[in-house]
Amino acid sequence: MLPPISLFGERFGPIRYLMAPMAGISDIVFRSLIREMGAQAVVSELLSAEGLVRGGEKTRDMMRFDESERPVGIQIFGSSIASMTEAAKIVQAEGADFVDINFGCPVKKVVCDGAGAAWLKEPQKLGELLTSMKQALRIPLTIKIRTGWDESSINAAEVVKVAAECGVSWVAIHGRTRAQGYSGLADWELIRQVAVKSPIPIIGNGDIITADQAIHRIDQGYAHAVMVGRGALKNPWIFQQILGQNPDFDFVQLVNRHFDLAIQHRGKFRAFLSLKKFLAWYATGYQGASAFRQSIFSSEDIEVLRGRALEFFAQVNFRPKSDDGQPFLMGGHG
C-alpha cells in the first residue's frame, strides 16, 4: 500500500478519497453535500483563468466555496502562462487550500485553444507554466492530467517527473488518453506503474463506482489516493461506504439536504434550476424514473419540485447501480 496524502498535516488528516471535479456538478452546493457525505477533499469544476483575470462576475461566483468544504481546491484552465499565474494568485487570495490545474480536458474548443490536455503535448512548456505558478503561490499547487494525448504519446510518467521537479504537491491521473475521451476503460496498470515510482503522491481516477473498487485500488497499491466522479452521482453514499460508516441510504434525507444547501448557497430560483438535473440523475434506473423526470421538468417552482421529489424518493430503496451497464455522463472536462 502506498502512503496517503499528508499535505495538510494535522489540519485535515491523511487523504485517500477525493471527489473528482466535474463541470456543471462540482459547484459549492454539491461539494458541500459530498464533503458532509465523507469525501476527504473536494475540487471545484474548471474555471477559466482568463475569466478570473478579467474579473468576470460569473467566474468569480464559481470560485466561491464554503468553510465546511475545506480542504477545497479551485481548478483553473487556460493557455497563457501569464493569465494562469495571475489567476492562481486570485484563487490564493480567495483563501482556497490549493490551486489545481486542469491538464486533462479533452474538449475540442479547449484544446484547440492550447488549454486542458493540450499542455500534455509539450511537457517542457508545461514545466515553465508550473514554475511560474509555483513562484507566485504560498498554497500548494496540484494538477490533474490524462495518461497522455493519444495512444502513441502516453507520457504521464514524464509529466509527473516534471511536476515533481517544479514542486507540485500531487498529480491526479484520469487513466485515459485525451484521444479516448470517455471510451474504453481507465488504465489502472499504467496509473500503478507511475505511482510506485513517483516522488509525489498520485491520485488514481477513472471508473470507480463501488466502495469495494476504491478500497481495492488503495489496498493493492495502485495509487496514494483515489478520486471518484460519476460514481458519486450514481451513489452519493459511496464515500461513507468506503470509510465503513454504514450509511442509511435515506433518499428523502439526501434530497432534503441537497435542497437546503442549494437554497442557502444559490437562492431559490437558481437552486430550482440546478436541482432538476441532480434529481434526474439520482432517479436514474429506478421504477417510475421517466414519469418522475417529466414531472420534474414541468414543476413551476422549487416548492412544487421538492414535494414531487420527496414523494418519488419516499418509495425508492437505494440499490447499487454498479452493474447496470448503462453509459452515464460519457463526456466532460477532464
- Using CB under 6 A, list all residues that contact ligand FMN: 20-25, 45-46, 75, 102, 104, 144, 174, 205-208, 228-231, 329, 332-334
Query: Among candidates 196, 190, 161, which has minimal Cα distance to 177?
Result: 190
53 by DSSP, 3-state: which?
Answer: helix
Q: How far is the CB of 310 from ligand FMN (least distance, A)?
A: 26
- Which of 20, 42, 62, 105 is catalytic? The answer is 105
Confirm whether 105 is a catalytic residue.
yes
Q: Which is nearer to ligand FMN, 102 or 299 (CB)?
A: 102
Q: Residue 161 is placed in which grid cell?
A: 517527473
Q: How far is the CB of 27 from ligand FMN (least distance, A)?
A: 11
Partners of residue 145 on adjacent β-strands? 103, 173
Query: Among candidates 207, 244, 228, which has minimal Cα distance to 19?
Result: 228
Please list, in sequence order, all residues whose beta carbon lies within 8 angstroms of the beta carbon of residue 230, skipping any fewer than 6 positions away: 22, 209, 328, 329
The residue whose Cβ lies closest to ligand FMN is: 334
Residue 296: Cβ-neighbour burial (10 angstroms; 0-12, 13-18, 19+):
buried
Please list, in sequence order, all residues whose beta carbon lies within 8 angstroms of the beta carbon of residue 235, skipping any fewer than 6 positions away: 209, 210, 241, 318, 320, 321, 322
Q: Which is nearer to ligand FMN, 98 or 312 (CB)?
A: 98
93 by DSSP, 3-state: which?
Answer: helix
How many angstroms from the chain centroid is the CA of residue 111?
Answer: 19
Residues acting as catalytic residues = 105
